[in-house]
Amino acid sequence: MLSAGSNSLVPDWLPKRLAGSWQRCQDLGLRRNAAASIEPIEAPEVRCMLERNEQLLNIAQTELQTLSSSLNGTGHIAFVVDHLGFVVAAEGDMQNSGPLLRRIRRGVNLSEAVCGTNAAGTVLVEGQATLVHRGQHYFSELSSLDCFAAPIMAPSGRLLGALTISNSAAPQVPGVTELTQIAVSRMERTLIRNIRSPLLMRLHPHIDGLGSLAEGLVAIGSDGEVMGLNSAAARMLGSNAVTLTGDVLESVFECNPLRAMLPINNSITTLRVRGGLGVSALLTRNTSMTEDAVIRVKASSPTSRSHQDLRLVEPLSKRELQVLNHLKLGLTNQQLAQRLFLSEDSIKYHLKNIFSKLRAKSRLEAVKVARELDLIPEDHTISS
């Protein structure tokens, strides 16, 4: 049966989230019986896509290799898409996956606008883990697939992309949804540990959950400010990561937890979330930090949230540091593109990320903050 509405072709048996996706596909003018466009973009565009997704690609490759071993012989493949829907990497049982899934490779666009309702594309719109079973796909050509996808969130709350496990012709094997979500949790934990923060706070409602993949992780700066958190921590604290990043810990706890937990002695403390339950918490040093990577934090008011606190929401990628190193020479976008052998669009994308991560509003301000953070030297030596 079809849902109400004179022009609606959305079956009323679809789950609400997928019904919304079907409606979006219809609004875009997609025809169900049309062929899905599962072809990669041109090689130069793929290179630009991988450059702008360097952070996502780095954390995805290890997890995909692990998943590939688990999926061997099952006909399932795992792939990661960026926030626009482009596949950045894929692994799995390609030999037994069937002709349709063997077309999934780097540069293929799986967004709803291109491939209709599918787990990867729909997650990017809905922001929640999604299962799409067989005929629930919008395009008839994809109706042989079972797909499950989960969003990958940056420590700042920004959607980086999604991890999907999919198969065709055979029933989905047990444990796929759990395997996907475990891999995403591991990726988000890696992102948190890569933040240039001196302290990490581990959280879980139950003391035995500390140290598990289900624990929340919060990166904390020298003034007790939140520099980033994973999805598990955001759920436990009842706060959106976008809102909480850059704020002080007192905004979510009934007291300043650092007063009770410093100096670090590896003891577990019970903290009360404002308006919520108590959670077990453990404060540790960020082992990924080195002597050279220590952030010098200027004195600031407890509620200050400007870039002068010298906090990095996310670490700069290698490419972003290269752009920043050349930016201090006063080069134009065109000159930057020529020096780094990139397109001007790629330069604009990297500059947007640099400004966001440094909380800068101009090129001069970005260079100033970067020098204060010791991200670039005072002289004009260019790193390769």
Q: What is the tens place of the pLDDT at every residue in 283-341?
A: 998 876 654 333 333 333 333 333 334 445 567 888 888 888 888 888 888 888 888 88
β-bridge mates for residue 92, sequence order: 77
Burial code (b: 16+ CB inside 10 Å, e: under 16) for 326-360 equals bbbeebebeebbeebebbeebbebbbebbbebbbb
Instruction: Give the H/E segment covering residue 79.
Output: strand 77-82
Q: How far apart are CA 215 and CA 236, in angstroms?
A: 9
Q: How confident is the model at residue 91 (pLDDT cuts 50, 70, 90)?
A: very high
Task: Tell the residue number behind the tokens 């918490």, with chain if given.
Answer: 281
Nearest Cα to 55, choosing from 82, 79, 78? 82
What are the E-state strand segments in 140-290? 145-153, 159-168, 199-204, 216-220, 226-229, 269-272, 278-285
pTM for the predicted model, two decimal places: 0.75
- The whole-number pLDDT of residue 345 equals 85
CA 57-114-181 angle, to 5 degrees, is: 45
Distance, CA of 164 to CA of 151 (rounded, Å): 9
Cβ contact 344:332 at 8 Å? no
Residue among 13, 17, 1, 52 at smallest CA distance from 319: 52
Q: What CA–CA distances, in Å, run from 105 to 38, 52, 58?
A: 9, 17, 17
CATH superfamily of 16-23+34-191: GAF domain (3.30.450.40)
Could you tell me the pLDDT band of residue 89, with boundaries at 50, 70 and 90?
very high
Q: Residue 112 is encoded by which pair of tokens?
A: 């709803």
Give pLDDT, residue 236. Answer: 92
* Same fold flag, 16-23+34-191 and 195-295+300-307: yes
Helix (H) or strand (E) holding 130: strand 130-133
> Other C-beta atoms within 10 Å of 195: how many?
25
- pLDDT for res 16: 92
* Stronger pLDDT, 107 or 263, i.e. the higher one: 107
In angstroms, the CA 204 to CA 215 distance is 5
Q: Which fold has domain 195-295+300-307?
A: Beta-Lactamase (3.30.450)
| Strand 216-220 with 159-168, pairing | unpaired
Among 97-101, 177-181, 312-316, the least confident range: 312-316
Closest to 33 in 3D by CA, of 8, 9, 4: 9
Q: What is the dihedral of CA 228, 229, 231, 234, to 10 degrees?
A: -100
User: How many other C-beta atoms can be found within 10 angstroms of the C-beta atom of residue 114?
Assistant: 19
Q: What is the pLDDT of residue 342?
A: 85
Where exactly are the structural domains of the chain? Answer: 16-23+34-191, 195-295+300-307, 316-372
Where is pLDDT greater, at 311 or 25? Answer: 25
Q: Which residue in 316, 324, 361, 356 sits closest to 340, CA to CA? A: 324
First and final C-alpha spacing in the chain: 61
- Token pair belonging to 382: 């260019």
User: Measured between alpha carbons, how far is 130 from 19 in angstroms, rounded to an integer?
Assistant: 12
CA atoms within 13 A on the CB side of 303: 1
Locate tokens 């996956």: which residue? 97
Task: Read off the pLDDT of residues 248-259 as tens digits, 9 standing for 90 and up.
Answer: 888 888 888 888
Cα 366 off chain centre by: 23
Confidence band of 376 (pLDDT split at 50, 70, 90): confident
For the domain 316-372, what is the CATH code? 1.10.10.10
Tokens of 115: 């491939």
Phi-psi label, residue 66: left if phi above 0, alpha if psi -120 to 50, beta otherwise:
alpha
Interval 136-149: pLDDT, tens: 999 999 999 999 99
What type of residue is 243? T
Burial of 318 (0-12, 13-18, 19+ CB in 10 A): exposed
State which of 9-13, 87-91, 191-195 shows the largest mean pLDDT.
87-91
Considering the chain, what is the average pLDDT of its residues?
Answer: 85
- Provide the 3-class DSSP secondary structure of residue 307: helix
